[in-house]
Amino acid sequence: MNTVTTVSNADFLATVAEKSDGAALRGDYSKADAHYVVSQDWAAYTEEEHALWRRLYQRQMALLPGRACDEFIDALQAMNAADGIPEFEKASQQLFAATGWTIVAVPGLIPELTFFEHLANRRFPVTVWLRTPEEFNYIVEPDVFHDFFGHVPMLFNPVFADFIQLYGKGGLKAMQLGGLDQLARLYWYTVEFGLINTPQGLRIYGAGILSSGGEVEYCLTPGTSSRHIHLEIERCLNTLYKIDSYQETYFVIDSFQELFDGTAPDFTPYYDKLKSVSPLSANTLLPHEVELLPAQ
């Protein structure tokens, strides 16, 4: 969930420098290059960490059939990542052959500018560290399990891969236009918490859900207080989100092509307009909106 930070590069560096004890941001930034890239140092992971990864992986895999979209499940299985924390280099080669994306290792959250630059160049930043066993169910900052397990499989889909690259370019543009808050909401509600409608029913493609122990089931349970509504771009850009609870709104797409086509137009008019409009709360349901997961 890399766009959680809304600070400039300079602010970000100041935060990291001040908190050299690692209290604020986890991860070792001391060896990062100018693009915040580090080496994964795969040999340094302990057997306990690999075992924790296997537990996380198995827990998710027991939940995902019939809930995650086929694109995710098929790519994940082809990646052979069940046995331990994967070697980024190997996965990166596989990914590059499929869609021209690569994986770069990063120490943790990175500044927005850097994040957008990576995406715009078809590089996906993946955090190197793994959560502790105490964080099995809940983690505040993205770790290697969230970033790799949740995000990388979707990048094997050509349309989704192109969408994320355009998102990166759109991020660089939004920084110029004062549209970062709006664009971050779109990322949140699609890349992190998106659902897709299929002939078999709603399925998950958002990494924040796919890597979560509880939300996989919650988001597809009828009758909760959350709504499941069709994605409208301007509506989504203007909707606040919760970072410390299950989502109160899930936006549903009909296809990845729809997502790509809907986000391809120039967002400048949206940003201009939304500057003078108050954002909608996360639990808004507008009069014309239809709940897509009816109570059974």
Residues that bind ligand PHE (CB under 6 A): 163, 166-167, 170, 173, 186, 263-267
> Residue 68: beta bridge partners?
204
What are the backbone dihedrals phi and psi of residue 250, each rounded to the nearest 5 degrees, phi first? -115, 125
Residue closer to ligand PHE (CB basis): 109 or 119: 119
Residue 1 site contact among Co ion, ligand PHE, none (CB < 5 to 8 Å, cut-off depends on kind): Co ion
Instruction: Using DSSP bridges, classify how beta strands 201-204 and 195-198 pair: parallel, antiparallel or unpaired.
Output: antiparallel
Residue closer to ligand PHE (CB basis): 48 or 272: 272
Q: Which residues contact 216 (CB under 8 A, 6 or more apart)?
A: 60, 63, 64, 67, 68, 204, 209, 210
- Reduced to 3 states (helix: H, G, I; strand: E, B; else coil), residue 123 is strand
CB of 167 to ligand PHE, least distance (A): 4
Please give the Cα distance from 40 to 29 (Å, whole number). Answer: 13
First to last CA, the chain: 32
| DSSP secondary structure letters along 53-111 | HHHHHHHHHHH-TTTB-HHHHHHHHHHT-SSSSPPHHHHHHHHHHHHS-EEEEESS---
Q: Which residue is nearest to ligand PHE (CB)?
A: 170
> Residue 228: beta bridge partners?
250
Residue 265 site contact among Co ion, ligand PHE, none (CB < 5 to 8 Å, cut-off depends on kind): ligand PHE
Residue 47 site contact among Co ion, ligand PHE, none (CB < 5 to 8 Å, cut-off depends on kind): none
Residue 263 site contact among ligand PHE, Co ion, none (CB < 5 to 8 Å, cut-off depends on kind): ligand PHE
Q: Which residues contact 30 (CB under 8 A, 6 or more apart)?
A: none
Residue closer to ligand PHE (CB basis): 57 or 188: 188
Q: What does the angle CA 264 – CA 198 – CA 82 come to, to the nearest 5 degrees?
A: 90
Residue closer to ligand PHE (CB basis): 53 or 271: 271
CB of 171 to ligand PHE, least distance (A): 7
Residue closer to Co ion (CB basis): 103 or 207: 207
**Two tokens at 250?**
């899930």
CB of 237 to ligand PHE, least distance (A): 9
Q: Which residue type does 111 have? A: P
CB of 256 to ligand PHE, least distance (A): 12
Return the residue matching tokens 């500018």: 113
Please give the Cα distance from 127 to 179 (Å, whole number). Answer: 26
Q: Which residue is nearest to Co ion (CB)?
A: 1
Query: Residues interacting with Co ion, by CB under 5 A?
Result: 1, 207
Residue closer to ligand PHE (CB basis): 63 or 186: 186
Residue closer to ligand PHE (CB basis): 2 or 60: 2
Residue 170 site contact among Co ion, ligand PHE, none (CB < 5 to 8 Å, cut-off depends on kind): ligand PHE
Residue 236 site contact among Co ion, ligand PHE, none (CB < 5 to 8 Å, cut-off depends on kind): none
CB of 205 to Co ion, least distance (A): 12
